[in-house]
Amino acid sequence: MASTQLSPGVVVLERDLTSVANATVDNVAAIVGSFEKGPVEAMTQVTSERELLSIFGRPNEYNYEYWFTAAQFLLYGGTVKVVRAMNDSLKNAIDTAQFVVATFSSTDTTLTVAAATDLDVNDLLLVDAELLTIQAVSGNDVTVLRGQLATSAASHAAAAPITLIEPAGTSSTINEGSTFTDADGTLTVTSASTLGGGTNSYIRVDDEIMQITGVSGDNLNVTRGLLGTTAAAHTDGSAVALQLVTSQKTEINETTATGITAPLIKNDDEYENNVEGAANNWKWAAKSAGLHGNSIRVVMTDAGADQVLSLAQPTSTEWQFTSGAEVAYSAANIYGKVYTYDTIVTVVDDSTLVGSFEKDNYITAVSGGVTGRVVAYDPETRKLEVAIDTSSADVLEVGDTVSELANNSNSPGSATGDAATVESIRRELRVSLNPGSPNFQANQNVSDANAASVLIAAVENDYDTRLYGVNQRWSNIAPRPTTSAWVEDRGGYNDLLHILVLDGDGKITGTPGALLEKHLNVSKATDAKSPQGDNIYYKNVIKQFSQFLYWGSHETNNIYDRDTNSSGGFGLSGVNREFDLIKSDNSLNNLDDPTGLNPLAVPLVGTKGRATLRFALQGGVDGYTISRPNILGAYTLFNDAETVQLDYILMGPGMNSLNDTIAKAQHIIGIADARKDCIAFISPYRGDIVGQTSTPQIVTRTIEYFDQLGSSSYTVFDNNYKYIYDKYNDVYRYIPCNGDMAGLVLSTTLNQEPWFSPAGFNRGNLRNSIKLAYSPLKDHRDLLYAARVNPIVAFPGQGMVLFGDKTALGYQSAFDRINVRRLFLVIEEAVQDAAKTQLFELNDEFTRQQFKNIVEPYLRSVQSRRGIVDFLVVCDGTNNPAEAIDRGEFYAEIFVKPTRSINFITLTFTATRTGASFTELVS
């Protein structure tokens, strides 16, 4: 060929004539199902049962057939592409999710009941120990007077039973001749016959309800103070009214929804396209839909306060510090701002300690000279955190008595009776230092809002004691997050965060509060980078690395704004920016309480107004029932043979109805037929197999079912369900065998060759099988095999064996056997890959011969491994005429004689005379 150089030089050229046809790897199956968690309508490749468990959750009563079909295939050494099917109920848990408050509060006067039949004005309702009087009834809404007959109004749970107490319409009067005392058990009435009733009837006198236990003339034996009432003395002549009492007449049906409806975020693509850039009204969402997300808790912290200054005892009035105000010790050039100011009191453990202080109640001391509000109380350590009213006229001191006052509409109410004596007081001023400022030291002085000089008694680092849970310190997780080197070099300040993801109630790991993942030293700045050059913007880090979370929006409420003159919000550039700090408006609780309704959950002392934010995700909803359109639609993700590598399509279980099961099977068969590079595996309808006792009836129904499915050499039918042990739920279950059928084909490929039959005693033993739903006998197997159904049989001493290797082809052909279909799939894929290398090459005899030189060695290799008996490759001028070459076409014809498997063995034994010649007999 002519040189392309215009001046002297050397050009090195290479030509590759080493192309070969490569062996294919046939180990990828596909299945669509319902799962506990995982991405929805997106393919996820799973290589082990542990990975299946991690990504898609545990099997349960609703999805075990899907789950174990995939798991059984994995047992044989394969890989499964799993798609979680859509369900309209599915929701991702979020931190602002709607939840229902199912409580009838103590102040509510409209009671919603399940049914208001027979409820009338002036009737009494007994709920727990409280009596209510009906004032009006509208539908199932009942207007009531609370705390009747000297009972106390209280909150009641939803579904609490309601007892109806109504006048019977008859009455009499007390005829004791004197006061009927509260201890008397025999009541004399003017006329017992007029009163009516008898033993076990109820009567009402004033505010007391009694039950009659016996009648003797006009003398009634009674049990006093029943149905929430209290025994009391009654004057002679008081009215005695018969009552009709109906236990569990109805129940409370109160539901109050708060928050917003949780969304469904199907998968990463949907999040990126539709959610990430939206104006979301939530901060965090579970990465996969389902109830499991309701266990996720997110805690985060940043630099927060730098120091805690323990202040000396004031003399006349309490110190007064305002959040955000300047605080300084100018003599040493120490400058900062007030982060928060708290008072923590330790009370004496003696007889003066009465009761337990409750959050949001009030306290008073020094004869009213000191007042404040309860923030938190820990009865174990006897520490009481209070927000002292800085306008108090006096000072709280050791030895003072602190009394609790009820919260009366956010104002001090009457005394609750709880009180304690002050043992010690710690006044804590948390400060955020200015950039570059030294730390405050003990014995220095600062000024409060009234310009009073305040002595610093002691100092400590705030982060050393900062909590993210009960006895859980951030300092045990990682050093304090402050400013990244990248932001600091560009004039920024306080951009770093720590984020932890916890298993709140243990539904994910089994251990409540377990650490699921941690994202340390991530940044509020969009452009911040690590020393290695990676972007560390917290939103991007969560998106890229979190297995449990989606980010929704930045925190804007629980914020401490150090620089009111410029924006320091999350999600901005870190250049010349002093970022806002986290400052929580709420305390952490001693118990995991995502809804805030647990009466046993109380705030932890020293956690309100701190740099720890906690988010509890709620609103996640499962969805295990899959409609026919949803499951068929999900299977279409496997349609494209060019972009989705696939070798086996698993049907998994059938649908709820026979017709839907047939529709599902036909759809899967259609995908395999259209792709022409994989095999679909179809099992019978569960209702025809499991729980049936008549084998002939099972066989008849199985044949009828498969007769409705189309003919295809790309499909394999089986006849059975197998019984396995579900170790995750400690139960035994029947599951379809299509996962095992594909697994046996795969195992044959891995251990022998793809063109070997997967059936029989050598290669057809099912794994992990206790028993079969039924075992067909020879005459049953004859019927099944003639109907294209491969029997799975239990042979004594041999286990459960696949005893057939037919495809679903409806007529006799070489392709009506699995091994032949697998042979052609393998060689077709290998030769197709080789043919792709010929695209856009010159269409001449050299290229055609080169193609033959690639294909023929490969086919000789298959022949030497017993796959084919003989072959012929034609690729020359006889099948590539000039007209075809002019059209840019290239033709190759490959003729193959496949090796057949043995299906029918006949053994003939002949008895002969002693003197007979075997040669003559055989001939």
The CA distances from residue 400 to 324, 420, 587, 851, in Å, are 31, 8, 26, 100
In a domain, 805, yes or no: yes
- Per residue in 882-896, pLDDT (tens digit) is 898 889 888 988 898
* pLDDT band (50, 70, 90) for residue 259: confident
- Per residue in 131-169, pLDDT (tens digit) is 999 999 999 999 999 999 988 888 888 788 999 999 999
In a domain, 167, yes or no: yes
Instruction: Please check the confidence at residue 20 and state whether its pLDDT lies above 60.
Output: no
Distance CA 329, CA 235 (A): 76
The CA distances from residue 503 to 175, 352, 506, 546, 605, in Å, are 67, 41, 5, 14, 23
Same domain assignment for residues 141 and 185: yes
CA dihedral 211, 212, 213, 216 (to 10 degrees): 170
Give the domain CATH number at 748. 3.40.50.11780
Same domain assignment for residues 805 and 700: yes
Distance CA 259, CA 262 (A): 9
Length of the chain: 923
Q: What are phi and psi of 868, to 5 degrees?
A: -135, 155
Provide the token pair at 350.
Answer: 């003696």
Instruction: Please check the confidence at residue 528 and state whether its pLDDT lies above 70.
Output: yes
In a domain, 332, yes or no: no
Own/partner pairs, 271-274, CB within 8 angstroms, 24+ separation: 271/550
Same domain assignment for residues 595 and 715: no
* pLDDT band (50, 70, 90) for residue 834: confident
- Per residue in 607-649, pLDDT (tens digit) is 999 999 999 999 999 999 999 999 999 999 999 999 999 999 9
897 DSSP β-pair partners: 870
Query: What's the one-letter identity of residue 822?
Result: R
Distance CA 874, CA 890 (A): 12
The structure tokens 């929701």 sit at: 91
The CA distances from residue 821 to 676, 806, 817, in Å, are 10, 10, 6
- Contacting residues for 488 by C-beta, under 8 A, at least 6 apart: none
Number of neighbours of residue 80 by Cβ within 10 angstroms: 25
Distance CA 881, CA 180 (A): 123
Which of 592, 621, 650 is the endpoint of a domain?
Answer: 621
Instruction: Please check the confidence at residue 274 and state whether its pLDDT lies above 90.
Output: yes
Instruction: Please check the confidence at residue 203 and state whether its pLDDT lies above 90.
Output: yes
Distance CA 651, CA 32 (A): 8
Provide the token pair at 674.
Answer: 């259209």
The CA distances from residue 51 to 45, 55, 75, in Å, are 9, 6, 13
Same domain assignment for residues 424 and 526: no
pLDDT at 160: 87
pLDDT at 270: 97
Distance CA 421, CA 361 (A): 17
Distance CA 374, CA 265 (A): 41
Same domain assignment for residues 778 and 631: yes
Nearest to 340 by CA among 570, 605, 590, 611: 611
* pLDDT band (50, 70, 90) for residue 858: confident
Beta strands 679-682 and 715-718 are: parallel
Provide the token pair at 279.
Answer: 């104006």
Q: How many domains does the chain divide into?
A: 5
Instruction: Please check the confidence at residue 16 and state whether its pLDDT lies above 80.
Output: no
3-class DSSP assignment, residue 480: coil
Question: According to DSSP H, which parts of 99-252 are helical?
Answer: 192-195
Distance CA 80, CA 78 (A): 7
- Contacting residues for 578 by C-beta, under 8 A, at least 6 apart: 435, 492, 493, 494, 562, 563, 566, 568
Distance CA 254, CA 159 (A): 8
- Decide: 52 and 251 in contact? Cβ < 8 Å: no
In a domain, 322, yes or no: no
Provide the token pair at 888.
Answer: 């840019």
Burial class (CB in 10 A: 0-12, 13-18, 19+), 315: exposed
- Decide: 143 and 112 in contact? Cβ < 8 Å: no
pLDDT at 848: 87
Number of neighbours of residue 273 by Cβ within 10 angstroms: 9
Same domain assignment for residues 414 and 459: no
In a domain, 826, yes or no: no
Same domain assignment for residues 571 and 464: yes
Same domain assignment for residues 151 and 238: yes
Chain-wide mean pLDDT for the chain? Answer: 92
Same domain assignment for residues 739 and 887: no
Distance CA 677, CA 646 (A): 7
Number of neighbours of residue 812 by Cβ within 10 angstroms: 7
What is the DSSP track for 373-390? EEEEEETTTTEEEEEE-T
Mean pLDDT of 76-84: 96
Distance CA 873, CA 855 (A): 8
Burial class (CB in 10 A: 0-12, 13-18, 19+), 562: buried
pLDDT at 25: 55
The structure tokens 């499962």 sit at: 622
Same domain assignment for residues 305 and 358: no
pLDDT at 26: 67
- Contacting residues for 281 by C-beta, under 8 A, at least 6 apart: 96, 260, 552, 553
In a domain, 697, yes or no: yes
In a domain, 446, yes or no: no
Distance CA 865, CA 859 (A): 10
387 DSSP β-pair partners: 373
Which of 226, 251, 276 is the endpoint of a domain?
Answer: 251
Mean pLDDT of 408-425: 89
Nearest to 745 by CA among 761, 760, 757, 762: 757
For the chain, the straight-line distance linking the first and the last C-alpha, in angstroms and rounded, comes to 69
Distance CA 293, CA 620 (A): 6
Instruction: Please check the confidence at residue 795 and state whether its pLDDT lies above 80.
Output: yes
Same domain assignment for residues 863 and 794: no
Q: What are phi and psi of 680, to 5 degrees?
A: -95, 140
Q: Which residues span the domain enclosing 293?
A: 91-96+263-312+455-621
For residue 814, give the DSSP letter: G
Which of 567, 598, 621 is the endpoint of a domain?
Answer: 621
Q: Per mean pLDDT, which range of 60-74, 404-418, 732-746 is the poorest?
A: 404-418
Q: Per mean pLDDT, which range of 19-23, 125-129, 702-706 is the poorest?
A: 19-23
Q: What are phi and psi of 814, to 5 degrees?
A: -60, -30
Q: When comparing pLDDT for 178 and 26, which is higher?
A: 178
* pLDDT band (50, 70, 90) for residue 32: very high
- Per residue in 218-247, pLDDT (tens digit) is 999 999 999 989 999 999 999 999 999 999
Same domain assignment for residues 247 and 360: no
- Contacting residues for 730 by C-beta, under 8 A, at least 6 apart: none
In a domain, 435, yes or no: no
Q: Whole-model pTM?
A: 0.79
Q: What is the 3-state secondary structure (H, E, C) of 575-642?
A: CCCECCEECCCCCCECCCCCCCCCCCCCECCCCCCCCEEEEECECCECCCCCCHHHHHHHHHHHCCCC
* DSSP E strands, 504-548: 514-523
pLDDT at 10: 65
